[in-house]
Amino acid sequence: MSRRQLYAQLDKSALRALPAQRYELAAWRHCRVNIDYHVELDRHYYSVPYELLGEDVKARFTASKVAIYKRGRRITTPHRRYDRRPSIKTEQMPRAHRLHAEWTPSRPIDWAGKTGADTGRLVAASRHSRPDPEQGGRSCGKFFQGLRSIAALPWRFLQLLEPAVPAHRFHRPGNEAIVQGRN
């Protein structure tokens, strides 16, 4: 009996069709969820739910997908990226971080402008006085904390207080034009 006859008699009936998708080689790696609720995989950061902060997880990765597992249960499956920019899913962030991520650079300026024109110019000057406007955000944050503490004051008092804010804040050379509205 020839090989072809044996194949037709024994093997051919047991064969199945090939899978629709090709097999992708996968690798596994143990990771720890960092304080920013991301895991690092080949110099790229993938977000996981913030509740897993500090936990050990396993990452299964192929050329196109990453799957993060905790105790055998799949947590998230982002697409694999190679650009070194973090893969962030906002639904995995804590509520406070989601709210912060929605802030645009102009939002604090607009919000301060509702308090008064001078206050808006104060915040704009603080943000634009640094090489990176985000660096001015820290001083703006301190300023907003102060505004929140006086927000319960009567409106008339706030109207009297608002013109005094720049005089207190801007005793530095170069800021006079901003205070006077001559941007």
- What is the predicted pLDDT for the residue at 151? 54
Do 78 and 34 lie in a common domain?
yes
Q: Residue 44 pairs with which residues in a beta bridge? A: 41
**Total tally of structural domains belonging to the chain:** 2
182: which 2 tokens? 């001559």
Do 121 and 86 lie in a common domain?
no
- What is the predicted pLDDT for the residue at 157? 55
Tell me the C-alpha distance between 70 and 38, whole Å: 14
Q: What angle do CA 39, 26, 75 make, to 5 degrees?
A: 40
169 falls within a domain? yes
pLDDT interval class at 181 (50, 70, 90): very low
Do 122 and 170 lie in a common domain?
yes
- What is the predicted pLDDT for the residue at 136? 63
Residue 56 has pLDDT above 70, yes or no: yes
Do 135 and 170 lie in a common domain?
yes
Do 115 and 171 lie in a common domain?
yes
Residue 112 has pLDDT above 80, yes or no: no
Do 84 and 114 lie in a common domain?
no
Q: What does pTM read for this prediction?
A: 0.52
Between residues 161 and 74, which one has the greater pLDDT? 74
Mean pLDDT score, 28-55: 92
Tell me the C-alpha distance between 119 and 134, whole Å: 18
Start-to-end Cα distance in the chain: 96
Last residue of a domain, one of 64, 91, 118: 91
Contact 66, 46 (CB under 8 A): yes
| Cα separation values, 77 from 32, 64, 81, 98, Å | 16, 11, 12, 20
Domain membership of residue 62 as a residue range: 27-91
Mean pLDDT score, 88-104: 78
Last residue of a domain, one of 48, 64, 91: 91
Mean pLDDT score, 16-34: 92
Lowest mean pLDDT among 12-21, 30-39, 93-102, 172-181: 172-181
**pLDDT tens digit string along 115-170?**
777 777 777 777 777 665 555 665 666 666 666 555 555 555 555 555 555 444 44
What percent of the chain stands above pLDDT 90?
28
16 falls within a domain? no
Do 144 and 81 lie in a common domain?
no
- What is the predicted pLDDT for the residue at 35? 87
Between residues 57 and 85, which one has the greater pLDDT? 57
101 falls within a domain? no
102 falls within a domain? no
Do 83 and 119 lie in a common domain?
no
Do 116 and 175 lie in a common domain?
yes
* DSSP calls for 82-144: -SSS-B--GGGS-HHHHHHHT--TTHHHHHHHHH-HHHHHHHHHHHHTSSSGGGGHHHHHHHH
- What is the predicted pLDDT for the residue at 98? 75
